[in-house]
A and B are shown apart, each in its own frame.
Chain A
Amino acid sequence: MNNKVKKFVPQLITLLAIILVFGFFTYNAQINMDNRGIEFGYGFLKQESSFDVQFSLIEYDGSHSYARAYLVGLLNTLLVSFIGIILSTIIGVIVGIARLSPNFLIKNTAAFYVEFFRNIPLLLQIFFWYFAALRALPLPQDAEAWFGSTYMTIKGYYVPLFVWNNLDIFLYSILAAIISIVIIRSYAKKIQENEGKQLPVFYISLGLLILLPLLSFVIGGVNLEIKTPVLKQLSATGFIFEPALSLPPELIALVLALSLYTATFIAECVRAGIQGVSKGQKEAAASIGLTPKQVLKLVIMPQALRIIIPPTTNQYLNLTKNSSLAAAIAYPDLVLVFAGTALMQTGRAIEIVSITMLTYLSISLAISALMNWYNKKIAIKEK
């Protein structure tokens, strides 16, 4: 009996406290909103937004709804995160391997990079790139071409515009290639398990990945037109490049800062992963006659990846959340467009902040659910 009370009372107190706090908050919110004449609801999402966004992946202007503005912000956030994840992975893997190099200079340069970039707040790094480094770039009329026809200017990075015809067929061909690669891989594995024969899966996959999109050009009616940027005068002193795809300096600063910062953490994950595989594994694999390539592919990498991937995914998640710092340099991401401009215009603090937080929360929860599933799949099954 005594034990039951012991278990029951603390729970009851917690529950009561939670209900009380929430009740108190809702009650106050109700009164506050009544006083200001606002009614709680998400109907405002359908209203016309009447503000413009500088940089958008989808068609958008002031006549579209707030819901559309939300989508613009979300896509911009995902764009920054996507580029950042790719760049930081590349840098992180290189630096992580470099930290294990036997070369004294390489090892210490990599260590210096890691210690330097991870001990400076990300916000300051973003500010540094945006306000100090990128402001030193030339004006469009003074810019020199990089790699032939791209221009790095103070107004952004201008790259040639790709004009696609029948882009969807091209994408379908890539999708078809990926699906057939997956099928071939599982087939090759089956053959190897049954007959011990190895198919050259890599070369087949590579061939498919090149061949199918190429076919879509030849018979699918896909064609690609590349328009190189040409300097164009707008006014006496205003120049831009047209026709070109312009990456705004905000995006460049944000991607640079995010990937250089996150790469330091990924480098540490990679280093820990490779160090975590014991030397005996490599020697044992070599002693049963595997080639160095096979040792790396079949013995070292699977074990190292098991250590590397969980913390690295965490870093990807951090990068996505940190991309919200975009608001500080006016890159139109979810926070700036929705929790900034839209909130200022509608005054609906509760609805907008809750939507924004829920968006990030669902991205995080989705990725961590995926992670848990993956962890369970690759965990060593002990007998």
Chain B
Amino acid sequence: MNKLNFLKPDKNNLYVYVYTGSALLFISIFDVFLSSFFKINVTSYLPGPVSLLLPLIVGLFGLHLIRIEFSGIKYLDLLNKNINTSNFNGALTLLIIFAIIMATPPSLSWFIFDANIAGDTKEACTGSGACWTYIKVWLRRFMYGMYPNELQWRINVSFILLIALAFVGYFSGEKLKKFLTLYYVIIYPIIAYILIYYLISGGSFGLEWVETGAWGGLSLTFIVSFFCLIFCFPIGMLLALGRRSNLPTIKYFSVGFIEFWRGVPLITVLFMSSVMFPMFLPEDFFMDKLVRVIIAISLFEAAYVAEVIRGGLQALPRGQYDAAKSLGMGYWKMHIFVILPQALKLVIPGIANTFLALVKDTPLIFVVGLMEIAGMLGLAKTNPKWLGFAMEGYVFAAIIFWIICYAMSKYSYNLELKYKTER
């Protein structure tokens, strides 16, 4: 048997090192596992700090022993290459593993095992975990705001119709393909507006009128982001073209407009729309707060969209412009058929990021008194019957927003791959 040097593992005594190292590693992880899941501290007879650090030291030594290059064991090599390249890396690896083990039991018990979902009142929540009853009871409010319960089918119907109409592009035949842009840019927004105006707002065709103050919750978030999305894109496109125009008035107007909106925070824009803008309108002229907010957010985001599109326009080689002009195309023809399709393709990720920011910005409208989901959470939190469940509410909203935003970012990534053309 070769001489063993525990500070320098080598290949000659491969299995001795591997078995000792794995055993030590297992002991350290098992110790943390026990103390975390079963609250058993095996090393409680040792002084506090030593007992705390022991698993780390033992595990680190274990990792050190199994760090043998080209051992010939496939999984060991994979392990060493990926999580155990040096002592420092090994320590970080262990710390992350320990943190995951330590965090699992409390979060699991808070989310599932000690949580309550039965019942309809606060008293039903007896466990020490989350009170999902609160979410269950308030779910309609979080989704629809103060919209009357018996009329909520109208929101559902219009959203389902809107989503269905959005998928028209996938099923249209080859012949109709060229009208798709027209459909998405002009017809679809008009249909959406009509649906929301007549179905959600009501007031005609025998439907009861629901004022916009009662709209709220997640559905309001969707309505606001949807309209702002539709409006900010064309405005942003025009501003981007304006900024690159060689007509001085238009150019400087666009520059001023873009820089102004990009320089101020959205919250002041919302304040402006709610307290300052009415001063600029004729006395008897009434504009709904929701409409004002949608206009404000659209203008705000349009400035960001404009900058993103400008980036795409600048990235196009001059030859594209020259070629289009040499074919006798005018300004608009050149931009619509040659320049913009290529420029927009280049800036898909940027546009997606701007839209993502827009969706994440919508909860802000609560500062002007529109009760979308953050506002409804604030309302529910201060309800005397349901005090003390702020955590559940925010966790719930965070999960919903996370799913929406993550899906959007993944979709934009796919879109980027799909439209990537080699130049």
Query: Do A103 and B405 touch (CB < 8 A)?
Result: no
B209 in contact (CB, < 8 A)? no
**A106-B96, A119-B409, A335-B267 in contact; A7/B247 too (CB < 8 A)?**
yes
Q: How many B residues touch A, CB cutoff 8 Å?
A: 57
Which segment of B30-38, B165-173, B210-218, B390-398 sits at the interface? B390-398
Partner of A14, one of B97, B253, B275, B390: B253
**A327-B367, A350-B276 in contact; A11/B390 too (CB < 8 A)?**
no
* Closest Cβ neighbor of A109 among chain B residues: B96
B271 in contact (CB, < 8 A)? yes
A115, A339, A349 — most chain B CB neighbours (10 Å): A349
CB-defined contacts of B283 to chain A, threshold 8 Å: 28, 31-32, 35
Partner of A360, one of B247, B263, B402: B263
Query: Do B360 and A121 touch (CB < 8 A)?
Result: yes
Partner of A335, one of B250, B268, B402: B268
Query: Do B85 and A102 touch (CB < 8 A)?
Result: yes
Q: How far is the CA of A365 from the CA of B250 in the complex (A)?
A: 21
CB-defined contacts of B381 to chain A, threshold 8 Å: 131
Query: Do B264 and A361 touch (CB < 8 A)?
Result: yes
Query: Do B249 and A127 touch (CB < 8 A)?
Result: no
* Closest Cβ neighbor of B280 among chain A residues: A25
A79 in contact (CB, < 8 A)? no
**A119-B409, A121-B361, A365-B259 in contact; A103/B264 too (CB < 8 A)?**
no
**A103-B85, A127-B394 in contact; A119/B406 too (CB < 8 A)?**
yes
Whole-angstrom distance from the CB of B141 to the nearest CB of chain A? Answer: 17
**Which residues, 272 to 305 on B, are CB-close (under 8 Å) to A?**
272, 275-276, 279-283
Partner of B267, one of A25, A119, A324: A324
CB-defined contacts of A354 to chain B, threshold 8 Å: 276
B313 in contact (CB, < 8 A)? no
Query: Do A119 and B402 touch (CB < 8 A)?
Result: yes
A78 in contact (CB, < 8 A)? no
Q: How far is the CA of A360 from the CA of B269 in the complex (A)?
A: 11
**A343-B275, A350-B279, A353-B271 in contact; A106/B405 too (CB < 8 A)?**
no
Q: How far is the CA of A354 from the CA of B260 in the complex (A)?
A: 12
B92, B280, B366 — most chain A CB neighbours (10 Å): B280
**A 310-340 binary contact with B (CB < 8 Å = 1; else 0):** 0000000000011011011000000100010
A10 in contact (CB, < 8 A)? yes
B89 in contact (CB, < 8 A)? yes
Partner of B363, one of A11, A32, A109, A121: A121
**A 109-135 binary contact with B (CB < 8 Å = 1; else 0):** 100000110111111110110011101
* Closest Cβ neighbor of A102 among chain B residues: B85
A33 in contact (CB, < 8 A)? yes
CB-defined contacts of B265 to chain A, threshold 8 Å: 321-322, 324, 335, 360
Query: Do B85 and A29 touch (CB < 8 A)?
Result: no
Whole-angstrom distance from the CB of A359 to the nearest CB of chain B? Answer: 9
Query: Do A15 and B249 touch (CB < 8 A)?
Result: yes
**B 54-97 binary contact with A (CB < 8 Å = 1; else 0):** 00000000000000000000000000011101000100110011
A356 in contact (CB, < 8 A)? yes
CB-defined contacts of B366 to chain A, threshold 8 Å: 123, 328
Instruction: List 22 contacting pairs A-B, 8 Å CB cutoff, sorted by A.
Output: A11-B248, A11-B249, A14-B253, A15-B249, A24-B280, A28-B280, A28-B281, A28-B282, A32-B280, A119-B406, A120-B398, A121-B359, A128-B398, A132-B391, A324-B265, A335-B265, A335-B267, A339-B271, A350-B276, A353-B275, A353-B276, A364-B262
- Since A29-B279, A120-B401 are in contact, a sample of 17 more A-B pairs with Cβ atoms closer than 8 Å, ordered by chain A residue number, is A10-B250, A32-B280, A105-B92, A115-B406, A116-B402, A119-B402, A120-B405, A121-B362, A123-B364, A131-B394, A132-B391, A132-B394, A339-B268, A343-B275, A349-B279, A360-B265, A361-B260
Interchain residue pairs A-B with the least CB separation, the first 8: A364-B263, A119-B405, A321-B265, A361-B263, A132-B391, A11-B249, A25-B280, A104-B82
